[in-house]
Structure 1
Amino acid sequence: MRDCLWIVLFSIIWPLLLTPAAAAKGNRHPRKLEASQCEAASKAAGSWHSKPEGMPCIQGATITVTVLDSSTGEELPARCSVIDTWGYSRRPLTAALYHTAEGGYFYTSGTFDLFIPVGTTLIRIGRGPEYEPIIDSVQVLGDTTLVYSLNGVADMSDLNWYSGDCHVHINHSGGTYTLEPEDAHLLGRAEDINVVNCLDQDYYFTGAPDSSSSTECIVYMSEEYRSGTYGHMGLLGLKQLWFPQWSHWWPMNLHVAEAIHMQAGGLVIPAHPVTTDDFSQIDQWPGTGLALELPVDVARGEVDAFEVMSYSNYLSGGIELEMWYRLLNCGFKLPACAGTDAGVNRAHDRPLGAFRTYVHIPDGEFNFENWAAQLAKGKTFVTNGPLITRFDLKGLMPGDSLSLPEASWRILGWLSVQSAHPIDKAEIITNGEVLHTFIPGGDQRSISTPFALHIDSSMWVAARVTGVDTSWHLVGDTLFAHTSPVYFRIGEARIVKQEDAEFFVEWIEDLESLAEEEGEWPDSSAASRAFNELAWAREYYASLAGIATHVEHHRPAAFTHELLLKQNTPNPFSLGTTIEFSLPFSDASAKLPSSMSQAEVTQTSLAIYDVRGKVVRTLFRGELPPGMHKLYWDGNDNRGKQVASGVYFCRLQSGDHTSSRKMILVR
């Protein structure tokens, strides 16, 4: 009896709450089936969901649904949800990738057929933040054709913004489906994502965009490197995979990142950087996902972006701002990015692209190389809904920098936001603090306003948009968007907040203590290298904070103003040797490196020569920022073959400067 009452209430209330948004055609008489025929008919029509126990099979009908772009009339791939009159989620059996999360959803390439019980049916359709999602309540009395047109909010590609998900898995452990890159392409098109970065190790890896890619959606198969101690890293745009693909205490993430950056276009993005607040939980998830080594790697210049939004960030809505703001407040240029960490082969997972990174490509065509390069430059904003269509400060956009003489400056800016959902406010953030707050008017879905900054000290400036998530189509409990910063440097002053630098001193001290108590190393040399890296980073942040510290090892010349090539260690060597060098800073008066700008990198090469002057091995050739760097030579030549015992020379060239060291190899 209660089931019957529920059905009656459901069929009455939904039509009152929801307004139909589709054209309906061909309402034929419903078919009444016996219980033995109901399942067969459902499967024949391409849909099935078990009916509630004890409920007789009642009249059913087939709905045919087509999704169109209202501006072009073309069919659109989309994410869909259908709730029948019993309150159960329905999906076509032919639809790829049905998911139970978010109330149940599936994907269509544009049209689908579904056999359902007659009665009030809830249909929901969405396609990323650039379209208004549809919620429609339909009284299905017989076979029905429905055509839905999605209205655009903004065409971001017209403004040279292209979206991407930096962290997706198509074949994660515990999967319901076994997927291929073509499936990722369908999902990317249905979510209106331009770049899908699948971090699935060696599944379908080619070292280039997958052949399933199109001009609208690029699928790039790459890798997530997992350290059980130091945290996970998304390795985007790889030309070669890194092996092994997981570790515990050795190697450090820093050493992996250094190797990845030797690949042209390779990006390193710490994945879900804050999965827990338990610092010492390194034996199981979520502790194994916490980016313990992050402040070390950022100080070394080996991190390309910060994953502000991730399903696996443990804080409210998967949004991590505290750690990011602290690093920005230590003077680092650290772009914002978003990666869902969606395991789209698992039926219980949420969709890819619900957290996304928009990248601005002002000149040149949209392709993966340009997209990745602009991401690394900080030309980004992240969002789960609001679209920041304009954020500029005197012509400067996210990722840009401006150096000004010491004085008080007034800078004019403009902020514009469009959203398919009501937003509460937009804010201008400077060095982590709210400077301006703007409240939208009217339907609360747009803001366009000028603002002014008064700058008398170095600062970073960004825009942030927030609201309450009330839509079925969004993921997270907060409507959110955030730009990467614009950076202002006044005189020679670096952006530094003492309390944030002190925070990382304590963080690294805790990591050192953890390493002393639980660290496992292949040999004493590895242990020494690891502790030296941690000690260097601790001293670096202590110097930023103005704290006097004592480090029981020789301090690397991290802030030298001359080219320095140190003697390789060990020397003589038999298996391999480490070569450490420092590139100079252009500003001879600076005691510490500023956040690196593109202008400060120099063309650098490090090569090994034999006694005849022949190049045996080129260890690095490309651009590097100022500061300390380390490379490892395994005693092999450029073809991967072992070289003979003898005397070799290491030659470092950076810009117009050169330096050499003699090395002895003993087999």
Structure 2
Amino acid sequence: MDEEPICREGTREVIITLPREEDARESAALEVEVDRGVATYPYPLPEDTAEDFLDGRKGWGEAQNEGSSPSYVEIAANPSAIVQVKRDGEVLGEARWSEVREQGCVEASPRVQLEVVERGRNWVHTKVIDDATGKPVPCRVHFRSPEGIPYAPHGHHAHVNSNMGTWHFDVGGDVRLGQITYAYIDGTCQGWLPRGEVIVDVARGYEYEPLRTKVEIEPGQRTLELRLKRWRQMNEEGWYSGDSHVHFLSAQGSLTEAQGEDLNVVNLLQSQWGGLFTNTEEFTGGEMATDNGDYIVYVSQENRQHFLGHLILMGLKEPVMPWCSDGPGEAELGGTLEVPMAEWADRCREQGGSVVIPDLPSPNGEPASLIATGRADAVEMLRHGTYMHGEYYRYLNCGYKLPLVGGTDKMSSDVPVGIYRTYVQIPKDEPFTYDNWCKYMAAGRTFHSGGPLIRFSVDGHEVGATVQLPGNGGTVEVLAEAESVVPIHTLEVVQEGRVVASAEETKGTRKLSLKAEVKVEGHSWLAARCSGPGYEQSVPHFDGWGRGIMAHTSPVYLACGGEWWMFNQETAQYMLTLVDGSLHYIRHNSRLHLRGDITHHHGEEDHLAYLERPFLQAQEAIHRRIHQLGVPH
């Protein structure tokens, strides 16, 4: 025989280049067939050069190559094998494997070039060391060749789910940010690395300097040490980070990824998605923590209704059921409206838990009623946008104190836990515990971060405080500072939603600060925020949502000559309209069982009256405020 009938060689990496621009731009996947061997799926390589990548946004991903050239594939074949490159069944080019190997680079056709880039490889044990402690530190890592071919640590993916969707699928242990899949490790990993030049990309949340650099792997080398440097220790300053909104990870997986992102708290939420119930088995009614107590996972719930809204229930000791209501896509097919969100909030509060309205204001049925009746401890911002900011400011300007929290709504592997996170300030004479984190979140001692770490004070008072001024107001001094491992362009102080002080660096920077005097003529609030050019034009992360890099504090409230209050008649009427709309939905559109056929979970005879009650309470609360202020309506 001229050759073995069965290929006995290992795979070699081959880069596929499509010289014609129209072929290269085409997003349809390439197919590689080998008649006497095997080939992996081909994957697009980065469009940027290695040098461009090294100068890019370290540790936080890379733009996805949406085309199909260059791509890479791994091939193991007999010398006589024919390698074909196809798209939608059409052969774009073919070459004999022996020629590809011997020549290194061949023109398979005018439309296809094949190049072998295998340089040999070593099985390498890697340690990532905290530069201050000298000990391995949990983080996420990515290794690649100069061409961009990924080398995942053993046990991890080079491409999570082959770069396809991952909703409730393949969610834990790895994360994809655009082109790059990162592996979460405990500070150690092992696996194949190519000989010669290797590019590493390592990150650990927002308080460590990301590391993106070249290393050299010599023949025979079996170990590699990398070092991460912490540039900020927020815990020592009394601030503790958390993600308000995570789905589908296991409790242990949440703890692993929390440590990899240096995230102190993960709120892992049970929920229902039609007939699918998730994380049921994870609930214990208590926290799960690392031995040193620095990282905590608490399994609670997100209860959801498609029209009235969603609600995060933190710190539950017992489940609050039913989890979802009134049919798809939240509850079961044909399901009836069994519970308003107010009932969920009340049951959570009875257990000593905290209630957060996620992704304010969507869905926008019951949030206004919850806010009017004081059932919401905080509101969450999942994305950077004018609409979300406007809704938040609207309620503040109507006199409702609402702390701001950040969360991810992580449901897939293209969202890192804590890419949007909440920093909560706990007094230095009190310990970091989950209960204290929730307590001071509800007290408004928070800022939302999608990268920047922001400080803000008004006459020396920090976020969440109420500053007492004379009845005629006065002038206050505001100090704001933002530092970030990802670029920021604008730092602003807003008063009642209006910009009253700002600092800007049009080219982007890592640090901005400002000091200003702000005139106060009556009850008011101030907050600090930072983001991209002009603030509203945010620079997107490479996560699946393309969330904007930003930070925003909860307010400092300014009370003039007495207890703080504010009122806006337009917002009050807006809230009444939402309450009326929800009542109309309940009475005329929701699916309900016939009266007398059902004994409901609440045990009341009149189910419709039970559903209407919190909305009638909200109407009364809003009208009471209007009448107390003597506002005609």
TM > 0.5 fold call: yes
User: Which residue among 211, 219, 239 is the counterpart of 1:134?
Assistant: 211
Greater share of residues in strand: 2
Matches of 1:75 and 1:328, distance apart in 2? 45
- Contact (CA 8 Å) 1:378, 1:398: kept in 2 or not? yes
2:120 maps to which of 45, 57, 60? 60
Alignment: residue pair count:
493
> For residues 335 and 34 of structure 1, do their structure 2 counterparts lie closer, same or farther at Cα, with a shift above 3 Å needed?
closer
How far the C-alpha of 1:330 sits from its partner, in A, is 1.3
Report deviation, 1:232. Answer: 1.8
Alignment of 1:168-187 (within 5 A): 168-171=246-249, 179=250, 181-187=251-257
**1:527-542, aligned counterparts within 5 Å?**
527-538=608-619, 540-541=621-622
Q: Measured at CA, do residues 526 and 423 of structure 1 come closer, stay the same or move farther in structure 2, by a change above 3 Å?
A: same
Tell me the distance in 2 between the aligned counterparts of 1:273 and 1:484.
Answer: 14
- Distance in 2 (alpha carbons) for counterparts of 1:377 and 1:530: 29
SS of the residue aligned with 2:493?
strand
Other-structure match for 1:98: 174
Deviations 1:2-35 (CA, angstroms, capped at 9, x unpaired): 826899x98994147637999xxxxxxxxxx992
Deviation, 1:267, is 0.7
Q: Per-residue displacement from partner, 1:226-245 (whole Å, max 9, x unpaired)? A: 22332221111111111222
What is the aligned counterpart of 2:317 among 201, 223, 239? 239
Q: Deviations over 1:205-241 (max 9, x none)?
A: 2222125564220111222222233222111111111
Q: Does 1:269 align with 2:335?
A: no
- Structure 1 moving runs of 4+ over 6 Å: 9-12, 19-22, 52-55, 589-592
Residue 464 of structure 1 and its aligned partner are, at CA, apart by 0.5
Cα deviation 1:461-482 (Å, max 9, x = unaligned) = 1110112537768974422001
% of aligned pairs identical?
28
**2:338 aligned partner:** 250
- Residue aligning to 1:35: 76
Which residue identity lines up with residue 58 of structure 1 in the other structure? Answer: E
Structure 2 partner of 1:195? 265
Q: 1:535 to 1:12 in 2, by over 3 A?
A: closer
Q: Paired residue for 1:502?
A: 573
Give the direction of change, closer, same or farther, for the CA distance of 1:221–1:532 in structure 2 (3 Å limit).
closer
Corresponding residue number in structure 2 for 1:323:
391
* CA gap 1:405/1:433 in 2 versus in 1, 3 angstroms: same
Q: How does 1:77-92 map to 2 (within 5 A)?
A: 77-85=138-146, 87-92=148-153
* Distance of 1:124 and 1:396 partners within structure 2: 39
- Residue 154 and residue 443 in structure 1: after superposition, are their counterparts in 2 closer, same or farther (change >3 A)? farther
The answer for the alignment partner of 2:305 in structure 1 is 227
Contact 1:410–1:452 (8 Å) recurs in 2: yes
CA RMSD of aligned residues (A): 3.6
Query: 1:109·1:190 contact (CA, 8 Å) conserved in 2?
Result: yes
The answer (yes or no) to whether the contact 1:383–1:481 under 8 Å persists in 2 is: yes
Matches of 2:585 and 2:422, distance apart in 1: 34
Letter of the 2:243 partner, please give it.
D
Q: Please report the TM-score for the alignment, with normalisation by the length of structure 1.
A: 0.67
Secondary structure of the structure 1 residue equivalent to 2:606 = helix
* TM-aligned CA deviation for residue 372 of structure 1: 1.1
Amino acid at match of 2:185: T
Q: Using the alignment, how far apart are the partners of 1:510 and 1:327 within structure 2?
A: 18
User: Which residue number corresponds to residue 150 of structure 1?
Assistant: 228
Counterpart pick for 1:299 among 364, 369, 372: 372
Unmatched segments (≥5 aa) in structure 1: 23-32, 38-51, 172-178, 276-289, 547-588, 593-667
Give 1:485 shift. Answer: 0.5
* Distance in 2 of aligned mates of 1:154 and 1:350: 23
Relative distance call for 1:399 and 1:474 in structure 2 (3 A) is: farther
Partner of 1:75: 136
1:367 is displaced (CA, Å) by 1.1
Query: Do the aligned partners of 2:404 and 2:446 also contact (CA within 8 Å) in 1?
Result: yes
What secondary structure sits across from 2:448 in the alignment? strand
Structure 2 residue matching 1:220: 3-state secondary structure: strand
Change (3 A) 1:292 1:122: farther
- 2 CA distance for matches of 1:142 and 1:421? 36
Distance 2:468 2:408 in 1: 35
Distance 1:133 1:55 in 2: 32
* 1:208 counterpart letter in structure 2: G
Contact kept in structure 2, 1:382 and 1:481, CA below 8 Å = yes
CA distance, structure 2, for counterparts of residue 457 and residue 355 of structure 1? 33
Correspondence for 2:416: 351
Change (3 A) 1:250 1:14: same
Q: What stretches of structure 2 of length at least 5 have no aligned partner?
A: 1-13, 20-42, 60-73, 79-111, 157-171, 271-278, 327-336, 533-537, 596-604
- The answer to whether the Cα contact below 8 Å between 1:316 and 1:477 also exists between their aligned partners in 2 is no
Amino acid at match of 1:489: A
The 2-side partners of 1:17 and 1:80 are apart by 15
Maintained 8 Å contact 2:198/2:215: yes
Contact 2:448–2:553 (8 Å) recurs in 1: yes
| 1:525 corresponds to which of 606, 622, 626 | 606
* 1:386 corresponds to: 452
- Structure 1 residues 99 and 54: alpha-carbon distance in aligned structure 2, compared to 1, 3 A threshold: farther
Distance across 2 between alignment mates of 1:57 and 1:436: 54
Shift of 1:168: 1.2
| Separation of aligned partners in 2, 1:258 and 1:76 | 41
Residue 36 of structure 1, CA deviation:
6.2
Which letter maps to 1:199? Answer: L
